[in-house]
Amino acid sequence: MRKIGIRELKNALSAYVRRAEAGERLLVTDRGRVVAALGPPGAVGAPDAQSPYDALIASGGIRPASESGPLIHGMRTLRLPRGTAARLIDEDRGE
C-alpha cells in the first residue's frame, strides 16, 4: 500500500482519485503519520467491513458474550441511605 503526503495528494488529487477508482488503496500521511486512507468504494469504510469487535473475536483475542441483553438484568436494586457511597469512599481513602 503506497503512502502519500497531504501536499503531494493535494497537488495531484485527480490522478490519485483515478488510481483509487482503479482499485489502488493509498494511505495519506501528515508529517509521516497516517491520517486517512483513499481507496475504491467498498474498500474504505465499507458497511460490510469487519468491525473491530468482530476482528477481535476472529483473532481469538476475545470471546463473544454468552448471553445477550442488559448486563444488570435480574439484579436486585439496592436502597442505601443518602451519603453512604461518599462515606464508604472516604473510609476506603482513610479520610
pLDDT digits (tens, 9 = 90+) for 61-91: 888 877 777 777 777 887 888 888 899 999 9
Cα 59 → chain centroid: 16
Give pTM, 2 decimals.
Answer: 0.45
Residue 25's nearest CA partner among 2, 54, 56 is 2
> Where do the domains of the chain lie, and which CATH numbers do they carry?
2-59 (3.40.1620.10)
Note the pLDDT of residue 49: 62
Residue type, 45: G
Contacts of 29 (CB under 8 A, 6+ apart): 3, 4, 5, 6, 35
